[in-house]
Structure 1
Amino acid sequence: MSPDAGTGTGTGADTDADEVVAELSGLVFEVTGRLRAQFNAAAAELGLPPAQALVLTNLSGPAPMRQLADWLSCEPSNVTGIVDGLERRGLVTRRSTPGDRRVKLVVLTEDGEDKRRQLRSSTNALARTVFELPGPDQKHLRDLLARVLAGPPAGADAESG
């Protein structure tokens, strides 16, 4: 029997689960760091700062500046400089929203679409090196990560885990 059994402070199983969760967290952060470094390198090869590259990869249609700020986890005022840089490069344009001229939409230009394709192609090629697993393992990892992101099923009891 573990020393904390029956004390309400947890059991050996709880401690093991906590260690696994800590290890999972560390591994996910390490993989994320590798992916980020590869993304930044691919962006640099295309002459883009990481923030501009993030906007390009996430912009699939006209988007308000506020949405870009949410994607980048920054203040809307910071997005102005990022979009200015993309606009100077001819990769995006700003358009007024039909219903509210104060809201500016950021839209990819043809050159922006081309640069986005190049960036996505390069980052996908690099990501293949991170996830170099047999096909079934890749799919299993994908499915597990999708389940983690989806959260627990409705009505699931955290204690029944």
Structure 2
Amino acid sequence: MAANSPPSSGTAPTTAELIERLATSFGLYYGDFTLAAATVGLTPSQAKALSVLRGAPAPMRALATTLACDASNITGIVDRLEKRELVRREPSATDRRVKNVVLTALGEETIDTVRARMHGTLGALDTLDDADRGALYALLGRVFPHGTGGSGSTG
């Protein structure tokens, strides 16, 4: 199915057609995000961590779960981000054994810069009028209800 062609059935797209459209869209988004992250010297995983933390601080283990990586890998990601002063570790107020990762002001500026440099994605979204933007926002919230808190998982 071509990018803008109607569904094969002539009515509502099938689940397979929706999945294909999502896969293509997310692939383009992720490529754009990866390129934008590289412009500020971040790996995709580092930028994704900043993006997740843009919503709220997170315990190391929860951050590893959200990023779908091993706990030892998240330690390395956070170490490198902390070295650049993009995040800091703070002990949890409720459990001193738990370390929360907190986005610093510089980290916030950095992820905002990454998002601002996502020219392909921004250009595509700029083609939508206010009604389409509202509809897309609402649909994404219905399809991915757990991704609406904070800034989402990628980017």
SS in 2 for 1:105: strand
The answer (yes or no) to whether the contact 1:57–1:120 under 8 Å persists in 2 is no
* 1:49 aligned residue: 43
Aligned-residue sequence identity (percent) comes to 42
The answer to whether the Cα contact below 8 Å between 1:91 and 1:113 also exists between their aligned partners in 2 is yes
**CA spacing shift, 1:140–1:31, aligned 2, 3 Å:** same
Q: Displacement, 1:18?
A: 10
TM-aligned CA distance change 1:97 to 1:19, over 3 Å: closer
- Show the 5 A alignment for 1:1-150: 20-60=14-54, 61-123=56-118, 125-131=119-125, 132-150=127-145
- The CA distance in 2 between the partners of 1:63 and 1:24, in whole Å, is 32
Q: How many residues align?
A: 135
CA distance in 1, matches of 2:96, 2:144: 36
- Aligned-pair distance for 1:146? 2.6
TM-score, normalised relative to structure 2: 0.75
More RCO (CA 8 Å, sep 6+): 2
Q: For residue 57 of structure 1, what is the amino acid of its counterpart? A: S
CA 1:106–1:127: 2 relative to 1, 3 Å: same
Q: Cα distance, 1:58 vs. partner?
A: 1.3
Runs of 4+ aligned structure 1 residues displaced above 6 Å come to: none
Stretches of structure 2 lacking an aligned partner (at least 5 in a row): 1-8, 146-155
SS at match of 2:101: strand
Deviations 1:37-68 (CA, angstroms, capped at 9, x unpaired): 00001100111001010111111333210121
Report the residue type matching 2:74 in the other structure.
V
Which protein shows a greater Rg? 1
Contact 2:33 2:115 in 1 (8 A): no
Structure 1 position 115, deviation (Å): 1.0
